[in-house]
Structure 1
């Protein structure tokens, strides 16, 4: 009798957990605004303040980039070398995370905007697990992860650790890496990045064959015909990376459903006008 009671309680718990997970998924925003490297127009790219700001704005997706450090940490940065953002010539793959964390990734942003150290304090490269913990603490915004090297296994270890599968997707042009994502967890969405001169019919065929959810084309190659073809398949059509308001308006008029931008607040304002 006690065993039956335990089984009954376990079943109820599983049902409640399933309901909570489903409710969280239903609560995710669906506004077509992807904050490229976070709110990177107002804060240093791929930094925790940029990600927190994007959450506060209410974007439905935040995009970030990841590499592996020499000691196997999944770190969040766009380039394989930190020189552009920090002024320090440091290859990610050749250094430990402790060494990587010693540089200031707000350096370029501060200089470009002519800000003081007080106005733009020093920042360190985040770990992906720090961002995942931030993302799973809410149920409005999801995280699109771009692996800049083959670190898909390591990323999924963290996703599993923080039970974050419902909160994440992946984007990149590398077909093999995106196929690997689907082999790890077919329910995790993939947004396949394409160049402006993409062979749209072939790309649609490939994307459908591997279960990708979207094609994201460089904005300069978006046409009404491409938009119509992608949407006719049931996939989403997106554009990267759009920072001009006029171009945003044109893409929205064409029916583009997702726009990656460094200026998520400006795109949200346009969306609210519709």
Structure 2
């Protein structure tokens, strides 16, 4: 019996597609069959965004100290460089939002930087921080490293500036904290420069890398592709639909698009796959109990928040989402962890 060539071609194609799907599913669940798991130097569940911008003025030493006193696992902060090459902790290069003075940090000497306003609006929450804190000074990154030598710090390199990248790298090396620092930028170009300058420092996935990971996942290609980034830091799109985070959206089309993006990004299989490869997944900026619960239920390793006290209280009520003593011991002894 002679088979029709067309039928043979169809059978071969079906076999190839079936093999691809089965291999992809297998590697999705068991990625270490193909990829070496990234070494995890620490695990961070509780991450304080700008030090906890909802409880103290953002990116100040008072905010950082408050978050550390609460027991935060990681401080997230932003960096710029002054005219006299001092690395300072500030989200904006333009000082107008933070201080009221319309000038650039990059054009200003460190000693001439103005104080922050007494009240600052949160970027991801419809409220102001009016803590009444007396600390309104824009701090040096070096002072943060000195004050918290043993705490993981997430450094957002805010602009494409080679001197800024060089200086941050020098400070990380000076204070012997390559193993406790994460850095990068939403731009792939800046992130590439960071990695080239000092590959020993943990690297964030850029925005385009995060999008690429999501697209690769839905084509089934992700389990086959090597990934450089060690920290997948992604927005939870659904927070945009909450009026406490942003003005109410009236366009049904926009709301539908956000829901679709949320369903694509908040996928337990995707998040668990990354975790199994040693890529820690962080979601930002979450400020409500329901958001904490959603992120951790989908398998997120950590949550970034403006309200460190609120996140601490939630984690205490949900101890299954806190780091176990065994995990802490494993990290301290440099052993690889299996994140479920």
TM score, norm. by length of structure 2: 0.63
The corresponding residue for 2:154 is: 144
Whether 2:108 is the aligned partner of 1:104: answer no
The 10-residue stretch of structure 1 (52-61 or 229-238) with the greater mean CA deviation from structure 2: 229-238
Residue correspondence of structure 1 range 100-249 to structure 2 within 5 A: 100=113, 102-108=114-120, 112=128, 119-121=132-134, 123-136=136-149, 139=150, 141-149=151-159, 150=161, 151-194=164-207, 198-199=211-212, 200-202=214-216, 208-209=226-227, 211-220=228-237, 221=262, 222-224=265-267, 225-249=269-293
Contact 1:238 1:257 in 2 (8 A): yes
Contact 2:178 2:202 in 1 (8 A): no
The corresponding residue for 1:9 is: none
Contact 2:87 2:141 in 1 (8 A): yes
Partner Cα distance (2:281, 2:225) in 1: 12
Partner Cα distance (1:68, 1:207) in 2: 36
**1:231 alignment partner, SS class:** helix
Q: 1:214 to 1:31 in 2, by over 3 A?
A: closer
CA radius of gyration, larger in? 2
**Aligned mate of 1:263, from 304, 307, 314:** 307
Instruction: Give 5+ residue unaligned stretches, structure 1.
Output: 1-25
The corresponding residue for 2:49 is: 36
**Aligned mate of 1:85, from 80, 84, 98:** 98
Deviations 1:136-185 (A, max 9, x none): 1xx3x211110111221111112222223233111421222222222233
How many residues get paired?
239
**1:62 alignment partner, SS class:** strand
1:128: how far off?
0.8
Higher relative contact order (CA 8 A, sep 6+): 2
Q: 1:107 to 1:98 in 2, by over 3 A?
A: farther
**2:102 alignment partner, SS class:** coil
Partner Cα distance (2:170, 2:225) in 1: 25
Deviations 1:184-216 (A, max 9, x none): 332321122538x9241449699944x321211
Partner Cα distance (1:205, 1:73) in 2: 42
**2:211 alignment partner, SS class:** coil
Q: 1:205 to 1:186 in 2, by over 3 A?
A: farther
The corresponding residue for 2:17 is: none
1:257: how far off?
0.9
**2:171 alignment partner, SS class:** helix
**1:121 alignment partner, SS class:** coil
Partner Cα distance (1:29, 1:265) in 2: 21
**1:192 alignment partner, SS class:** coil
Partner Cα distance (2:315, 2:308) in 1: 10
The 10-residue stretch of structure 1 (75-84 or 185-194) with the greater mean CA deviation from structure 2: 185-194
Partner Cα distance (1:114, 1:45) in 2: 11
Partner Cα distance (1:107, 1:59) in 2: 23
Whether 2:285 is the aligned partner of 1:253: answer no
**2:205 alignment partner, SS class:** strand
